[in-house]
Structure 1
Amino acid sequence: MRLDPFVRDYQRFIADLSGILQSEETVFYLDTSVLMWAANIGRDARREFLAWCRSRPTGKMRVPVWAAHELHRHLLRGSLNANLKKAVSDAEAKLTDFARLTTERVDDALCIAKGYAGRDAYVTDVQKTVQRLKELGKIAGDEAASSGAADDVVDFVNDHILDTELDDIIRRINEVGELRYKHLMPPGYHDNKPENKFGDVVIWEEMLADLKDRTGPTQFDTVLISRDEKTDWVSSAPLVYNGGDKPQKSNRDMEFDVTLAHPLLIHEFSKKTSSRSLYVVPPGFVASALYYAPNSAGQASNVSKWFAASHRFDVIEKLATAALAARAAPVERANVAVANGEEAEPTVPPADLSPPVPARAFVAPSARAIASVNAFPLSSAYAQAPINLKDGLVASWVNSLVSGELPPLLFGKAMSGLIASDIRWATQANALFEQIAPNVEPANWNMAVLAVICSAYFDASGELHKVPQSEAALFALQMEPDARAAPAFAALNGFLKGADAQLPYLPGTGRQKVPYALNLLGGGGNGKADLLREVRVSGQPALIDRVPESSPQTLSRLLANDPSRGCTGKELRAVIAKHLFVPVELLATTWDTKKITWSADVGLASVDTTSEGGLSSLADEEDGDND
């Protein structure tokens, strides 16, 4: 079993999931909550949702038998309107109580001061509001409309229901259900419904049984669409990267979350199916991904009513998916800004959310061949371009790469120059490569990635840098988890090993844990900080004494803090990871909650690819700073 990262990449998650939702190989399942939701939303939105479901290839949209059984039970109980009726009734009761309290409180003087003609005018307005709410409730709760909606959903279910043999599943759950429930094994341990305690487990077992025999030459992914929060199915992200330097708190209401299937669920899923991945997503999130993809490209969406019905009207413009789509708008948007003499933000063509182009063999050139590619004309044109034309120039490179006119190695070398010289592209390059990935052949995309990541470790003559180039190395660490870039990182790993590079962390080795330990001298309790005495990374001492105060290696400078204020172990871990070019999630979190202080003259060793263990007490000034 593999645990999820604590901090996750939102843009990469959206790009991956969008492609999966569009792929004709993806297998979808609908649970009871989304079937009930489909019967409750308006006719136009329901038709869009069901039309999209029906547009999936034959056998790729599935309804578990247990979900159909639960839907049938709800229909017989009249549950479709029950929640709405209760909501209207509760709102009417609260508003009536509000009307009673306010009409007791107000008088002519107060009402006139607030713009009313007097107390009678105010009371009349309140009474109209109460009556208006009742009329609004009658429209939404029309039972004739809900009966037609039920028939629409029933017809769809009958066309897509699984043919599951439930006896074996129920027998197995009778044996292990209570164990799963008591030990918080996903899914379903949050179901506090005595009459349907193991309903989620039955649906889960149906999915596993259905996928068991699904094999073929093409890999496929699996998506469960559910309107329940499914907190016992998923692992939400505590912190999320969204293209900036610092992670942000996730917010599921704004769709700013990287919600992955629970690690234990994935473990079981991977052992029992051949599916590549599993996602558990609500219909509103699916609608957003499908809605913003064509809109960001200036095309009409065919899920606009489904999208509108899935979100509160007051949050649509605030959705994280909306902001991401705006950043992925076509290059023409930047061209308009340039024509108007405005300075455009770095802009890239929108991702083509169709399934990726089939891969051809990736054959890596040598490190020297990559180094010999001359990108000076492109870099020079960028440097000399007016500030408001620079991003349009990069956009033209992207268009030429996509059309096949610009060699991918040349594009990558040009981008490596921008990453090193322009702080904007140092932070935006990862998103740029993410956006263009679906539009070029994977082999060409890997070639461009390889050119950038090689520039972090090899100079213009193909010789190993003594100190890796900071911005390109950080780009490499951000890009490495992307499975699509595996060929590029395998090639880089070969180059580094061939050059006998000494590094605390060697890219392309499968992101294995990096040995990391702190030696702390206890502060005596009472909330006092522990004194940092030693740091070891990959078995090598990384803390050095008597560092000159002006050195960028001093711990106080790296932490932007002084010893009297101290830091947390988590802050220290993040600084060490960035300074030594190690993925932060690969360092142990053992000391994260500790409060730590340090001697004023200590600092961190520098990465040195020529020293044993990859660390040196002094930075090579000619190779630049480490951070």
Structure 2
Amino acid sequence: MIGAGPENADDYLMRLKQLVKAAHTHLYFDTSFLMWLAKAGEPTRAEFSSWQSKIGSARFHVPLWAAHEFFKHRLKKTVAKEFAADAKAFDDAASNLYEKLKLYCSDELFGFKNSGVMFLDEYTRTIQPIRGMLQLAQKSDQFEQGVQAVSSFIDDFLLSGPLDEIIANIDLDERVRNRGVIPPSFKDAHKRGGRRTDSESEDEQVAGDNSFGDLVFWREVLRHASSVNASTIVVLTADRKNDWFENQHGDKGLTEAIRRRIQKPRPVPAPHPLLKREAFDRGIGQFLLLDPMYCGVLLETEGHDYRNFASTALDTQLPRLPGKASAARSWAGRFGVAASLFGGGAAETAEGDEDEGGVLPEEIPFDPAVLELESLKPSIALPRIVGQTLNALASADTAKRALILQNLDWEKLEGWDAAAIIAFGRTLLRAADSGDPASLDFIANFRDCTPSLSEQLRECFYFGALGAAYFADDLTIRAPTNSPVALTLLDLVALSEVRHAAAAIGDGLAEARLLYKPGSGKVDLEIKVVTKPAADNKSKADLQAIKLADTNLITTLQDEKPHQFSQLLGKGDEAFDADIGSLIDVIARYHRLPRQLIKVNINTDQEVRVPQYAGVEVDI
């Protein structure tokens, strides 16, 4: 189950193509896929409906919880608001770029007479009609029509059955899953405790607590699949959260055919192994996930009848730019000045320039030599804008830092150089170490989407962030803290996607006395929990030691209160009962032990009696 390698994309699609046509396969819509359909144009929805009818509409279902969440989005007018936000983002970017171009543009910038004026004129004549059309589009009825069409679709395929059976004991189940990082729903743990704000009127929808939504959806799917004796279930979803997906294989399953068809293909949507096991325990032999991209590939293989759906799902990137010289020549040639620009005839190619078949900037091989410890120092020289951004991040309060990070997505960071990315990782680690929630979320997001990032971005960010967890600004080795951020980063430490960064940090720690060093690879950390039966033979066994090899990671006489388990776990000042898993988690934070490599000799759910003064042994 957990030892399976990445599935080849072609094999996945062939298996999917056969299974969706089978009588005992049932397909279930997640809210995210329904929202994707609502945003798509009518031709795209019509082709999907046609395919659905072709393979058997009766086997498609909308769980009640997915319908409930879609209804909330309908009341909030989410589809129209998201389009308006995207249009505004484009308008702001176009206006800001024009402001900058106005400053830079001159004949010297492009190398021939009147080129600056021509470029600004070309830019304005291209952008203005697009801005006007986007304003017009925001007044379109398409948004409401799409939402209405999907609402009617939901009514036609809504599952029946009492909701109270699904939500029975949901709160307890959710807490256990979130605590144990058991799918689904642990990625939504932050949604607990939603409430009405003072600004909301009585007629407005309350945001509510939706931390258990995925779990309700999953329970409902399993209940229905069991009732109809489904041998295979397929969940159609537009999400890519790792409480549904197994993301560790990255893009290893992608084939050349997929890469040729799609500019930026997503990894094969492999379900989390624990979800596959849970479905199997209900008698469901196979569980697959299907997102819009792979659904587009699937329908494209069915023929020309599904061309609109395939194009909507697959053609989501602008065409690649040709090589620098040919792109400029094409533009300049329209003004009859190619000879002036290149110092010769229009047919000549600048020496050393690559054309369309050449290496594009994002494909330039990554050089691990940039991962130097010196680059972890705050004194490293950075571009002015980057320096200003990092200074703002370091000095901002919680709200302002969250706002800055909202505007720094991974696509923007792809344009930063190696030193800037390393410095960003270091700065973010410092903020996360102090408990900043936005920084913690950003680093957790990095962990989840690492395989999809370029090699330079993921290696440099990881080097900066993990390096800052081990080294102070003067490159002396830092004492470990109780912050969870180091564990988040160590979740990746043995993956090939960040092997250069991990090795570079490990080399810098060669002389340090650590229980685990980055770059060591996938080595089992065998931990032995030592207990002593309670004197009355009724209470929980007394905790004596937690050892890694011959090293005791705890002490039963910790005189520094901040390091006592009672303080770290919020249990007061007396002896208390705790499960082994909670204690191991604290120890892993202090001793920087990758959780995925830890092997414990007893069940981590087992509870023990923790002595009053027991705590983490920090002097190892």
So what's the TM-score if we normalise by structure 2?
A: 0.45
TM-score w.r.t. structure 1 length?
0.45
Q: Which has more radius of gyration?
A: 1
